């Protein structure tokens, strides 16, 4: 950093980044001709880039910075923990106060039937762990044939081999020979994109019964579990029709399979409840968590286990699984401080009854914009489907994705981070966003939609 002018050498940073840094989920050649945006600092809902621009972080980093950026209490808790005990493992009959405290805290905020947690460093690792846990669970139960895990097309469960296999992203499966054996994908409850002539309620029932049909086709004696996000995040903030979860619950209660609610995005207040499972009244056997667990300040994830799962696994002797950083004391300290702040400041309650409804009302009103085919939002996670000929849901922009990218780039220029998934715009702002900041946020979204519409109209792509 140039200390005299307080300005960063953007061009030099970009060049070094292009030469030596390989980005996740990126077309590296394309990025390197354009140059990456350099983010240098952040506070609350605001990011600052190397040219001094202030940008509203409409994605809470990557769906994770629930308590906002620049939190002093977390920085102090982490510093104090590093001085006290910077690292020790939890393998060989050892433990330490931060991992004990965090485990206890989690059992307080999770549903009553969940009282045990296994720690890892990410959502992907949590789901890798879960694949081994559920298959081992059925082995211990004397049903070793129950190995297949049912998941959904366009679900996202991480980027490791097992995580990407559970996920239903075609592009990911095409690279590296995925999915691994024993994963079966069914339809997602994406009414706007795939509902055809059915009403949302009819389609929700149909999509839920795909699970039942898959269990019958595979054989109940072969199926170990069903994994799903309460609301799909990376797949495009897919909010299922109201009929979907009650029907899935009925099926799971009638069939002998485990239910895994992937809470990596929905957990820690995103829907105005501590977990997405609380919002939909689900009773999962396992819940992978990460992201909002530490609000992204340090990498930490976990697998929350229902009592009957931990009790069964206990009968199997040693579970040959663990990570060097399972229960890392400093990451635990960050998560403890984060949860304490979410609780003491009533942030989850505020999302449920104050700032959440305020944002939803304004966001849903964007559904009236001529470019928006559907606006949806629960808690503080939402999407806008951009459409060339609303209300016709069958008409799409071609090729899919270009308009989303155009809109995302315009949004950046307007000082707002929105993410594009296909041609929908996705938001998931820090949960601490104020009413005033929400007004500013919606103004930037509106300006972005207007500018995108005017470019598309000029190019003859509307109607």
Selected from 265, 331, 339, 449, the binder of ligand PLP by CB under 6 A is: 265
Q: Is 306 among the residues that bind ligand PLP (CB under 6 A)?
A: no
CA distance 45 to 168: 31
Tokens coding 101: 């405290």
Residue among 290 and 339 whose Cβ is closer to ligand PLP: 290
Q: Is 164 among the residues that bind ligand PLP (CB under 6 A)?
A: no
CA distance 326 to 54: 36
Cis peptide before 228 (omega within 30 of 0): no
Considering only 44-52, 75-83, 259-267, 366-374, which stretch makes contact with ligand PLP by CB under 6 A? 259-267
Site size for ligand PLP (CB under 6 A): 16
Residue among 90 and 127 whose Cβ is closer to ligand PLP: 127
Tokens coding 165: 């296999």
CA distance 407 to 423: 9
Shortest Cβ 453–ligand PLP spacing (Å): 30
Q: Is 123 among the residues that bind ligand PLP (CB under 6 A)?
A: yes
Say if strands 223-228 and 148-152 run parallel, antiparallel, or are unpaired: parallel
Query: 461 — alpha (psi -120 to 50), left (phi > 0) or beta?
Result: alpha
Selected from 57, 262, 285, 374, the binder of ligand PLP by CB under 6 A is: 262
Residue among 14 and 157 whose Cβ is closer to ligand PLP: 157
Tokens coding 75: 């920085």
Query: 148 — alpha (psi -120 to 50), left (phi > 0) or beta?
Result: beta
Residue among 118 and 156 whose Cβ is closer to ligand PLP: 156
Q: Is 128 among the residues that bind ligand PLP (CB under 6 A)?
A: no
Q: What are the residues facing 49 on neighbouring strands? A: 39
Q: Is 156 among the residues that bind ligand PLP (CB under 6 A)?
A: yes
Shortest Cβ 278–ligand PLP spacing (Å): 16
DSSP state of 429: -
Selected from 65, 122, 129, 312, the binder of ligand PLP by CB under 6 A is: 122
* Touching ligand PLP, residues 227-256 (CB under 6 A): 229, 233-234
The half-sphere exposure of 212 on its side-chain side, counting CA atoms within 13 A, is 14
Site map for ligand PLP, 177-206, x if CB under 6 A? ------------------------------
CA distance 216 to 229: 22
- Could you please report the per-residue DSSP string of 213-237? HHHHHH-GGGEEEEEE-SSBSTTT-
Residue among 284 and 301 whose Cβ is closer to ligand PLP: 301
Tokens coding 103: 């485990």
DSSP H helices in 318-401? 329-344, 347-353, 355-365
Residue among 373 and 430 whose Cβ is closer to ligand PLP: 430
Shortest Cβ 122–ligand PLP spacing (Å): 3
CA distance 74 to 238: 32
Selected from 110, 124, 188, 355, the binder of ligand PLP by CB under 6 A is: 124
Q: Is 264 among the residues that bind ligand PLP (CB under 6 A)?
A: yes
Considering only 3-11, 33-41, 119-127, 215-223, which stretch makes contact with ligand PLP by CB under 6 A? 119-127
Residues contributing to the site for ligand PLP (CB under 6 A): 122-124, 127, 156-158, 229, 233-234, 262, 264-265, 290-291, 301
């Amino acid at each position: 950093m140039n200390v005299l002018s307080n300005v960063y050498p953007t061009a030099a940073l970009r060049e070094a980044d292009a030469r030596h840094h390989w980005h996740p989920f990126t077309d590296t050649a394309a990025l390197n001709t354009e140059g990456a945006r350099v983010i240098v600092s952040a506070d609350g809902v605001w990011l600052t880039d190397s040219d001094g621009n202030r940008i509203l972080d409409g994605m809470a980093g990557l769906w994770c910075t629930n308590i906002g950026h620049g939190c002093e209490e977390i920085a102090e808790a982490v510093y104090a923990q590093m001085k006290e005990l910077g690292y020790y493992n939890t393998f060989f009959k050892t433990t330490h106060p931060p991992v004990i405290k965090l485990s206890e805290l989690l059992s307080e905020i999770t549903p009553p039937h969940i009282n045990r947690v296994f720690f890892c460093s990410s959502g992907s690792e949590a789901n890798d762990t879960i694949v081994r846990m559920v298959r081992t669970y059925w082995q211990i139960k004397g049903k070793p044939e129950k190995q297949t895990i049912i998941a959904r097309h366009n679900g996202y469960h991480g980027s490791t081999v097992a995580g990407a296999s559970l996920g239903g992203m075609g592009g990911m499966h095409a690279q590296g020979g995925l999915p691994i054996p024993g994963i079966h994908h069914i339809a997602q409850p994406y009414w706007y994109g795939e509902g055809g002539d059915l009403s949302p309620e009819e389609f929700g029932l149909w999509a839920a019964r795909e699970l039942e049909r898959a269990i019958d086709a595979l054989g109940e004696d072969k199926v170990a579990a069903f994994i799903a996000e309460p609301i799909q995040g990376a797949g495009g903030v897919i909010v299922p029709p109201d009929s979907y979860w009650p029907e899935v619950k009925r099926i799971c209660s009638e069939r002998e399979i485990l239910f895994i609610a992937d809470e990596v995005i929905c957990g820690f207040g995103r829907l105005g409840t501590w977990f997405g499972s609380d919002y939909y009244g689900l009773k999962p056997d396992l819940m992978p968590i990460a992201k909002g667990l530490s609000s992204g300040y340090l990498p930490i994830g976990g697998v929350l286990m229902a009592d009957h799962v931990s009790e069964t696994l206990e009968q199997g002797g040693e579970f040959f699984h663990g990570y060097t950083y399972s229960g890392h004391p400093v990451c635990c300290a960050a998560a403890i401080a984060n949860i304490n702040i979410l609780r003491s400041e009533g942030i989850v309650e505020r999302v449920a009854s104050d700032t959440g409804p305020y944002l939803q009302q304004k966001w849903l009103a964007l559904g009236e914009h001529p470019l928006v085919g559907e606006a949806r939002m629960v808690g503080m996670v939402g999407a806008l489907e951009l459409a060339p000929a609303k209300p016709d849901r069958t008409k799409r922009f071609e090729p899919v994705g270009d308009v989303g990218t155009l809109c995302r780039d315009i949004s950046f220029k307007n000082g707002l981070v929105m993410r594009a998934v296909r041609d929908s715009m996705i938001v998931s702002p820090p949960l601490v966003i104020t009413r005033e900041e929400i007004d500013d946020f919606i103004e930037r979204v509106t300006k972005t939609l207007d500018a995108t519409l005017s470019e598309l109209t000029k190019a003859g792509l509307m109607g």
